[in-house]
Structure 1
């Protein structure tokens, strides 16, 4: 798994080794602060749960997997937490860029935090506005289901909200059940894998670079006879230099 620290450098940093994967599936995870977004992403991609994380600055996680028999690169963009204020929603700039970049969006709230649940409807409206003509698939994920004694959102409110928003709903515990987390993300990946792949190389572009065409980061292994000849002559020159030094 590759961890990329800066959202603006995705195009330069996510190139895997050979062979070049068939396509990329890009998922943006958004929600309030402290709802467990990073824990969910890491749990899905690595099976591991880590209780404490540094404050999220907008990291990209990337991993090559098989989805319905197809080799794909799953790129999951973790985002800084949104906050409810007296003047509305305090939304980091990276969140909008991430939605524009993504093929799908995961909305996350914590069942122990009522404000994070109340925030979901406004975040969904942001996805609708940002997606414009091409609304990305959205799922609603309720985290920390294991903390029953701290629950502040009734178990029936999540499905009702998901029905209103027209998206799938999953209640999970990142700390206790990997299968729940994996199942939610895996179903979303399968849904995306069935859709036609993007026609241009922009599928690997960085969030925030939607108007500027970026060079594809996926560089295939050189197969040109000219390139091979150049490499052969370079080795010959290097060998000659070594012989000269040895003779001296």
Structure 2
């Protein structure tokens, strides 16, 4: 199941200079979870910089921030990279649960990433998903399952249909991508998750206007015209009296 293409509605944006009518952006908080060496950090960096950093995870635990536009609304996107020490297939050990819990409570949307070259990383997706639902029992926090390293066909251990079936069972969206080869697919993953989070929380209509520099009121043209007519009328009356 693939989400619709929204590349035309989602743009990375520089932080604007402070102005009188600057709208403070709402936060969107995303967490990227999965086993070690599935390409979580590479996905994040590729999305934010278009640069591929290779098959390693040097930034585990790092929080990334960027201002973005989602369908015309300015949002402050925060992406949390997470530890990847998942070794069990059917359950999560308590130490890992404790280390992940703070991220699960913090985030509003989740990417669960596995590598098509690693069956164990695929098997870790279900317990991760179940733990997310324990933390968010209302089941509103959107989750996308991502099969990464789609270009390594000769090393494939997990078939595309296996990912589709798992996503259907869990009620999640599924995408198979290659972080190293296709920047557009990486963008599509983050684009769709941002849009789902913003829809759930109604972020588009809740932006706050900054009061750091008060904006002066614009003059009312109708009021200016009325005052001008009054002044003109007074001058005419004064001239008549003098005459």
CA distances 1:49-88 after superposition (whole Å, capped 9, x unpaired): 1115454441111110111000111111110103124894
What's 2:223 paired with?
none
TM-score with structure 2 length normalisation? 0.71
TM-score with structure 1 length normalisation? 0.70
The answer to whether structure 1 residue 156 and structure 2 residue 155 are counterparts is: no
The answer to whether structure 1 residue 22 and structure 2 residue 25 are counterparts is: yes
What's 1:110 paired with?
115
TM-aligned CA deviation for residue 48 of structure 1? 1.2
The answer to whether structure 1 residue 184 and structure 2 residue 189 are counterparts is: yes
SS at match of 1:194: helix
What's 1:49 paired with?
52
Q: Which segment is superposed worse, 154-163 or 77-86?
A: 77-86
Give the count of matched residue pairs: 193
Distance change >3 Å, CA 69–CA 111, structure 1 → 2: same
Distance change >3 Å, CA 118–CA 16, structure 1 → 2: farther
Give the Cα–Cα distance (whole angstroms) in 1 for the partners of residues 151 and 77 of structure 2. 27
Q: Residues 1-248 of structure 1: matches in 2 within 5 Å?
A: 18=18, 19=22, 21-51=24-54, 53=56, 55-85=58-88, 88-90=91-93, 91=96, 93-133=98-138, 135-197=140-202, 222-223=212-213
What's 2:239 paired with?
none
RMSD: 2.8
SS at match of 2:151: coil
TM-aligned CA deviation for residue 20 of structure 1? 5.6
5+ residue gaps, structure 1: 1-14, 199-217, 225-248
5+ residue gaps, structure 2: 1-14, 215-243
Give the Cα–Cα distance (whole angstroms) in 1 for the partners of residues 150 and 90 of structure 2. 30
CA distances 1:211-235 after superposition (whole Å, capped 9, x unpaired): xxxxxxx9x57448xxxxxxxxxxx
SS at match of 1:77: strand
TM-aligned CA deviation for residue 95 of structure 1? 1.6
TM-aligned CA deviation for residue 195 of structure 1? 2.8
Give the Cα–Cα distance (whole angstroms) in 2 for the partners of residues 128 and 146 of structure 1. 31
Q: Is the 8 A contact 1:82 1:89 kept in 2?
A: no
Larger radius of gyration: 2
TM-aligned CA deviation for residue 190 of structure 1? 1.6
TM-aligned CA deviation for residue 194 of structure 1? 2.3
